[in-house]
Structure 1
Amino acid sequence: MRDVSGLGRADAWDGVNAVVAGFGVSGVAAVDNLLFLGAEVTALDERESSHGERGELLESLGARLRLGPGSTATLPDDVDVVVTSPGWRPDAPLLAQAAARGIPVWGEVELAWRLRDPERPAPWLAITGTNGKTTTVQMLDSILRAAGLRSLAVGNVGTPIVEAVMDPTPYDVLAVELSSFQLHWSQSMRAESAAVLNLAEDHLDWYDGPDGMTRYAADKARIYHQVERACVYNVADPATEEMVREADVVEGARAIGFTLGMPGVGMLGLVEDMLVDRAFIEERATSAAELLTIGDLASDAPHFVANALAAAALARSHGISRSAVREGLSTFRPDGHRIERVAEIAGVTWVDDSKATNPHAAQSSLQAYESVVWVAGGLAKGAHFDDLVRQVRERLRGAVLIGADRDVIAAALSRHAPDVPVVVVEAGETGAETIMDRVVAAAADLATPGDTVLLAPGCASMDQFANYGERGRKFAEAVRRLST
């Protein structure tokens, strides 16, 4: 077995036998670029799909594709390194075999870090957290572009990191969204600055066992390892500050907090309706500098404002001007299905936040509205809803529940908000569209003028829908039919 521990972009990969576990978007990018470097590559995936023409092209370039049921049961004999897709658990048979044979396992992040251009290695501004990652990394990218930099949002959103670092024209800086899965397989990454937005229960089906939450948090904390400039943390979430305290960082790296309250020295926060910087100005001991107002943002929801502060903190750590922060944040518009206003009908506002796929995200969304008919349910992924219901019960006008784990939410409502009316909508046999028609009709019956009907499921969608996007679209379509 060849020693691959020191391999980088400038090294010879000829003769390296690499197995790519998973042939999704990141797996295809890994195969493509490993072939370009000269490695011998085998891609394994239980799914039959070979990504059509691109799969055929990679095969023509020498890749070996083993796709379909049973293809990942056994690791080939002659392997120097395994590159795993993010969702693969460490106890997956293929990865367990690699560990038993002493074969290194890299994730997409590890491979990408090694393949950076040695002449112009674009710095990484990295973001993780249970919720808000995609919005924050897109906000950050918007700011960096407003500053005139060649930037790209990569990682768990958009372009695979491997493709970005191998671009023939190097980027000035990368805004990198990282999941706990990606961080789990990362050893070498050293971000210029990094942020953990929050920490709450999620993916406990991946991190199973009594210490699951501890392992989940430990993987998130890896983002701060050897940070050069700034470790950005959430003042309202002490777990994120503790991660910074325990991190092994480069000497001189600063701890920078963000808060929805008045900021202390070394923080970004709010002064009345202004987002302000009290960390990256010379006069921070006595004053704060205005960045923009809440009214300049696309939403005044508290979690959206918090995301903007985190993005601003990372941008400011990179030396971005206040004017570019203002321009980047004021022009940014979030993707669909994130606190997206669908309609107002008879005094009731309808909002699609289908992207709220865990209880923490749903709670943040619910806390943005005073009186809510809550549409929730789906696959809970092992999460619990008791804390959420305790925090928001005074806001709930009613609840409409769907999906495989609706009983988990119903039980939490029964325990902590027994007076809140609950309607359960069974799936039936007529498809997702009719499910949402019945959901919307039930919510309309519960809502009164001044209420918000909020789709913030707190669960994944795959039990009844292709993804959270389809769930949100079906909800919006049903709302529009209601208004006709």
Structure 2
Amino acid sequence: MKKAMIYGAGISGKSVKKLLEVMKWETVLVDDKIGVSSTDAVAYLKGIDLFVKSPGIPYNDLIEKVEKKGIKIVNEIEVAYKYMKKTSKTKIIAITGTNGKTTTTSKLAGLLNAARIRSIAAGNIGTPYSGVVLEKNKYEYIVLELSSYQLENLYEFKADIAMIINLAPDHLDRYRDANDYYDTKFNVGMNQSSEDEFIVNIDDVEIIKRLDRINGEISRLSLEENTEVCLSENNLYFKDKQITAIDNFSLKGIHNLQNILFIVGVAKLIGIDNYVITNFLENTKSLEHRMEEFYIYKNKNSVINFINDSKGTNLESTMKAIGSFENPILICGGCDKNLELTPLIEEIKKSVKEVYLIGELAPKLEKGLLAVNYPRENIYTLKTLEKVVIALEKKMKTTDSEKDLTVLLSPASSSFDQFKSYEERGKIFKRLVLERFKK
């Protein structure tokens, strides 16, 4: 019997363990909390045929020892793909990028199902790919959201349709530099041939630099130029044919228009009718934790609109969120990813009324803001969401403003310094606001 070691007992680790056991593999689960410890795991390496590394696990001493022993290191995506190709005819749509992955993935799966094409969103979006493939031919398409971490340690994986929404610096605590991060993203199109499809955002400079890495049939997409998938005079076009007007789309903002272009591009490559596309885009709802307007508090002479953008886990995403409102009050901070913060700091200085800082990134942000002469009296370094909401309640219930206000949680970083996930962070924020402000 073949033997696999699985490093990490999170959702993907537990799921791939179950899959491997269905495949009749013996498994050893390594996790410093609930499995064999990473220190003790070295003693179990003899006889291991495959090492499955969970995406969030860093490249530490155990990984180094595995590499020295010549044991093949893969991830959950690779294991699931190899099983799927042997057991079903399901096709893969793979989506990555710095921003917009979750919206594009979930809404594309929704559109396919609206068109009566059996589909599911999986991968980084929460449902493990390795769990979905156990359902074999239940789905015609699996729409996979893939983080850069999930695009490491791949060998045979291949998407029928691949895309990179956009690229901006992120996760520099993991990668050598931004170029290393960008190059990893291009693994989304690995092993493709001219029989496969790759949708390219030509508005993104870093994507254009790497076109020679693409082997699939390219469909170009742009918000600015006339390409295969494009926008012109408030209409979406695919290969010079009008698909639909954009006036009544339920997903608002320029960032969502970019996501929609990818969704429409895939839909037309598959052959979905324009009526189905239009009806879906006019009626679908925004995602929880992504620019989610969840509560309006009515003060004496104004209203305060609370926005949960906990999914804003990088600088680019938060800068776009800030730009969607007029002088918002920003709640920002989280893990320190070792990123250059200047672009965000400049955007806060230019566009943010007040800023409330949380998490381990708070001191860096405060120092950077003071260095560019952002008013000290408009900076509140309170470290936790609970303290922020308490301070906001005290201030807003005692200050009679005649101007409507927006309170925007958009952290510009991941949540793991204080929360299990961005979902937990967003849910706690919404709970705290409702407890303090709801009449």
With structure 1 as the length reference, what TM-score do the two structures score? 0.82
What letter corresponds to residue 295 of structure 1 in structure 2?
Answer: N
In the alignment, what sits opposite 1:169?
137
Q: Distance in 1 between matches of 2:342 and 2:12?
A: 36
Count of paired positions:
431
Q: Does 1:214 align with 2:176?
A: no
Aligned mate of 1:123, from 79, 85, 91: 91
In the alignment, what sits opposite 2:18?
32
Structure 1 residue matching 2:186: 3-state secondary structure: helix
Contact conserved, 1:342 with 1:351, CA < 8 A, in 2? yes
Output aligned runs, 1:20-419, within 5 Å: 20-48=6-34, 66-68=35-37, 70-89=39-58, 91-118=59-86, 120-207=88-175, 211-227=176-192, 228-243=195-210, 245-250=211-216, 253-259=217-223, 261=224, 263-272=225-234, 274=235, 276-279=236-239, 284=240, 288-297=241-250, 299-344=251-296, 345=298, 346-391=302-347, 393-416=349-372, 418-419=374-375
Aligned mate of 1:470, from 405, 415, 424: 424
Q: Distance in 2 between matches of 1:358 and 1:374?
A: 14
Taking a change above 3 Å as real, the CA distance of residues 462 and 79 of structure 1, as seen in their structure-2 partners, is: closer
Q: Distance in 2 between matches of 1:93 and 1:69?
A: 9
- Structure 2, unmatched stretches of 5+, are none
- Deviations along 1:167-214, whole A, 9 cap, x unmatched? 14341011110010110111212211111112122222222xxx3222
What letter corresponds to residue 412 of structure 1 in structure 2?
Answer: G
Q: Distance in 2 between matches of 1:317 and 1:420?
A: 53
Contact conserved, 1:401 with 1:423, CA < 8 A, in 2? yes
Structure 1 residue matching 2:382: 3-state secondary structure: coil
Contact conserved, 1:152 with 1:175, CA < 8 A, in 2? yes
Q: Distance in 1 between matches of 2:374 and 2:121?
A: 44
Structure 2 residue matching 1:125: 3-state secondary structure: strand
Q: Distance in 2 between matches of 1:224 and 1:356?
A: 25
- Deviations along 1:283-317, whole A, 9 cap, x unmatched? x2xxx4133424222x3122122212222222222
Deviation for aligned residue 1:128: 0.5
Structure 2 residue matching 1:115: 3-state secondary structure: helix
- Structure 1, unmatched stretches of 5+, are 1-14, 49-65
Aligned mate of 1:452, from 397, 400, 406: 406
Q: Distance in 2 between matches of 1:398 and 1:452?
A: 11
Structure 1 residue matching 2:45: 3-state secondary structure: coil
What letter corresponds to residue 202 of structure 2 in structure 1?
Answer: V
What letter corresponds to residue 225 of structure 1 in structure 2?
Answer: M
Identity %: 25
List structure 1 segments (4+ residues) > 6 angstroms apart after TM superposition.
Answer: none
Q: Distance in 1 between matches of 2:377 and 2:244?
A: 43
Q: Distance in 2 between matches of 1:416 and 1:125?
A: 44
- Deviations along 1:86-107, whole A, 9 cap, x unmatched? 1123x32222222111111111
Q: Distance in 2 between matches of 1:425 and 1:317?
A: 49
What letter corresponds to residue 303 of structure 2 in structure 1?
Answer: G
What letter corresponds to residue 218 of structure 1 in structure 2?
Answer: D
Contact conserved, 2:89 with 2:137, CA < 8 A, in 1? no
Deviation for aligned residue 1:373: 1.5
What letter corresponds to residue 461 of structure 1 in structure 2?
Answer: S
Q: Does 1:438 align with 2:387?
A: no
What letter corresponds to residue 190 of structure 2 in structure 1?
Answer: H
Structure 2 residue matching 1:166: 3-state secondary structure: helix
Q: Distance in 2 between matches of 1:364 and 1:74?
A: 49
What letter corresponds to residue 257 of structure 1 in structure 2?
Answer: L
- Deviations along 1:364-392, whole A, 9 cap, x unmatched? 21121122111111223212321123345
- Deviations along 1:108-130, whole A, 9 cap, x unmatched? 11111111144642111110011
Q: Distance in 1 between matches of 2:22 and 2:424?
A: 36
Q: Distance in 2 between matches of 1:168 and 1:471?
A: 34
Q: Distance in 2 between matches of 1:126 and 1:75?
A: 34
Q: Distance in 2 between matches of 1:302 and 1:447?
A: 30
Deviation for aligned residue 1:16: 1.4
Q: Distance in 2 between matches of 1:241 and 1:120?
A: 34
With structure 2 as the length reference, what TM-score do the two structures score? 0.90
Q: Distance in 2 between matches of 1:185 and 1:443?
A: 50
Contact conserved, 1:46 with 1:71, CA < 8 A, in 2? no
Deviation for aligned residue 1:434: 4.2
Contact conserved, 2:358 with 2:385, CA < 8 A, in 1? no
Taking a change above 3 Å as real, the CA distance of residues 70 and 435 of structure 1, as seen in their structure-2 partners, is: farther
Q: Distance in 2 between matches of 1:103 and 1:466?
A: 31
Taking a change above 3 Å as real, the CA distance of residues 402 and 28 of structure 1, as seen in their structure-2 partners, is: closer
Contact conserved, 2:30 with 2:38, CA < 8 A, in 1? no
Q: Does 1:482 align with 2:437?
A: yes
- Deviations along 1:209-233, whole A, 9 cap, x unmatched? xx32221111101112243443223
Structure 2 residue matching 1:375: 3-state secondary structure: strand
